[in-house]
């Protein structure tokens, strides 16, 4: 299905349905029930985390990093800038690179893939500040708003191509597994999981084809998200809590460092962690089924499937060393 979605996006195919008409009545009832439960709390407006990280590294040339996407990339659900995924990733990248990191987050809560073009235009408006690396997190709103999967994937492909053409490295955190949202019941939970994974796999295919890397966010990464929903979901029962964002950022950080040449690369695959070279469609499917998996292109049509060891992220107590030293006006 992911291969069909990607092919439809590339060759102008129409929408590919993910469910049959027979279950529509039950599904609509489940949707109404979920709407009464999800979003019952109040998700804080995401705090601005723009600015420089890694103050200990002084006036060295910074790594320019940008976050794009939806509420997940923006950090909706937490109240402190240091708890957003952008701040966590920028702090971790500064520590690994031993250089300051200039973070610019243009993600918009509620955004779908059709907003990526606007976000990229903001980033590329000043040629002197084109980012070195971009992290995109998008897809959840495409599923919940029933955007045709082929359209969603086509827009992401165009976004990655545009950033790569501008000279930026790109890491995409693929569509999270909406089947882990606690108040969603069967059969909607199963349908949400199926749609999320199919979109994530298709996102992986087109991103790798355009020269980017992907990290599967899945259930925001590992069985702990389902086992401890009260800790890892925010007050609105939908957006991650600070612990949830930290878990996701820990999985993305190694790939973010690797794409900049800051993480040790080896030709030796770790078979104990199921690393392999596979056709890109098979690698995408495997990644969608296992959160925290990186997929990067080798040579068409092959891709490298990796399970990187997670890098420890700075705790709140470390923020004095890696906190924002210069905040850009909103």
Q: What is the DSSP string of 89-145?
A: HHHHHHHHHTS-EEEEE---TT--GGGHHHHHHHHHSSGGG--SEEEEE--HHHHHT
Within the chain, what is the greatest distance between any pair of CA atoms? 62
User: Which ranges of the chain have pLDDT less than 50?
Assistant: 18-28, 38-41, 221-224, 231-234, 315-330
H-helix or E-strand spanning residue 256: helix 242-259
d(CA 250, CA 54): 18
Task: Categorise residue 185: left if φ over 0, alpha if ψ from -120 to 50, beta otherwise.
Answer: beta
The confidence score (pLDDT) of residue 292 equals 79
Give pLDDT, residue 312: 53
What is the C-alpha separation between 225 and 211, in angstroms, rounded? 30
d(CA 203, CA 284): 8
CATH of the domain at 280: 3.40.50.1110
Total domain count for the chain?
1
The pLDDT assigned to 319 comes to 45
Q: Coil, helix or strand for 219?
A: coil
Residue 320 lies in a domain: no
pLDDT in the model for residue 317: 42
Domain boundaries, position 262: 2-9+30-313
114 in a domain, yes or no?
Answer: yes
Chain segment 173-185, per-residue pLDDT in tens: 999 887 766 555 6
Residue 13 neighbours by CB distance under 10 Å:
15
Q: What's the pLDDT score for residue 310?
A: 58
Count CB neighbours of 236 within 10 A: 15
Cβ-proximal residues to 40 (8 Å cutoff; 6+ apart), any chain:
236, 237
Q: Report residue 81 as tokens.
A: 């800038």
Specify if 18 maps to a domain. no
pLDDT, tens digit (0-9, with 9 covering 90-100), for 11-54: 666 555 544 434 444 444 555 555 555 444 455 578 899 999 99
Are the C-beta atoms of residues 232 and 247 closer than 8 Å to each other? yes
> Any idea which residues carry the catalytic annotation?
71, 236, 239
Distance CA 82, CA 176 (A): 22
- What was the pLDDT predicted at 221? 41
Tell me how far apart the terminal alpha carbons of the chain are, to the nearest angstrom: 41
Asked if residue 222 lies in contact with residue 247, where contact means CB atoms within 8 angstroms, the answer is yes
Assess if residue 329 is contained within a domain.
Answer: no
How far is the C-alpha of 198 from the C-alpha of 149, rounded, in Å?
Answer: 9
Q: Is the residue at 20 inside a domain?
A: no
Specify if 161 maps to a domain: yes
pLDDT at 290: 80
The closest alpha carbon to 221, from 257, 187, 255, 190, belongs to 255
116-124 vs 149-165: helix crossing angle, rounded to 10? 10
Beta carbons within 8 Å of 251's beta carbon, 6+ residues apart: 215, 217, 221, 291, 292, 310
In a domain, 250, yes or no: yes
* 93 occurs within a structural domain: yes
Q: Report pLDDT for 202.
A: 92
CB of 314 closer than 8 Å to CB of 322? yes
pTM beyond cutoff 0.85: no
Q: Which residues pair with 67 in a beta bridge?
A: 105, 135
Name the region of 220 (left: φ>0; alpha: ψ -120 to 50; beta: rest): left
pLDDT given for residue 276 in this prediction: 84
């Amino acid at each position: 299905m992911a291969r069909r979605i990607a092919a439809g996006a590339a060759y102008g195919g129409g929408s590919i349905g993910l469910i049959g008409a027979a279950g529509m009545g039950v599904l609509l009832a489940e949707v109404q029930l979920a709407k009464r439960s999800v979003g019952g709390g109040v998700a804080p407006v995401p705090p601005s985390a723009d600015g420089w990280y890694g103050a200990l590294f002084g006036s060295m040339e910074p790594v320019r990093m940008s976050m794009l996407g939806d509420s997940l990339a923006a950090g909706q659900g937490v109240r402190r800038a240091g708890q957003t995924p952008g701040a966590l990733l920028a702090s971790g990248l500064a520590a690994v690179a031993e250089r300051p990191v200039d973070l610019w987050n243009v993600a918009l809560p509620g955004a779908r893939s059709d907003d990526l073009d606007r976000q990229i235009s903001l980033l590329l408006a000043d040629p002197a500040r084109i980012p070195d690396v971009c992290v995109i997190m998008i897809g959840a709103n495409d599923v919940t708003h029933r955007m045709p999967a082929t359209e969603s994937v086509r827009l992401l492909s165009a976004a990655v191509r545009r950033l790569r053409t501008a000279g930026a490295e790109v890491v995409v955190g693929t569509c999270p597994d909406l089947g882990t949202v606690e108040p969603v019941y069967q059969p909607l939970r199963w349908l949400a999981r199926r749609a999320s994974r199919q979109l994530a796999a298709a996102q992986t295919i087109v991103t790798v084809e355009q020269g980017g890397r992907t990290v599967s966010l899945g259930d925001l990464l590992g069985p702990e998200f389902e086992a401890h929903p009260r800790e890892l979901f925010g007050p609105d029962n939908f957006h991650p809590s600070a612990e949830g964002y930290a878990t996701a950022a820990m999985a993305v950080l190694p790939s973010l460092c690797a794409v900049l040449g800051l993480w040790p690369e080896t030709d030796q695959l770790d078979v104990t962690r199921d690393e392999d070279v596979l056709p890109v469609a098979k690698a995408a499917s495997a990644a969608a089924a296992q959160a925290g998996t990186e997929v990067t292109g080798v040579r068409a049509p092959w891709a490298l499937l990796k399970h990187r060891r997670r890098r420890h992220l700075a705790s709140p107590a470390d923020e004095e060393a890696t906190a924002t030293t210069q905040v850009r006006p909103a």
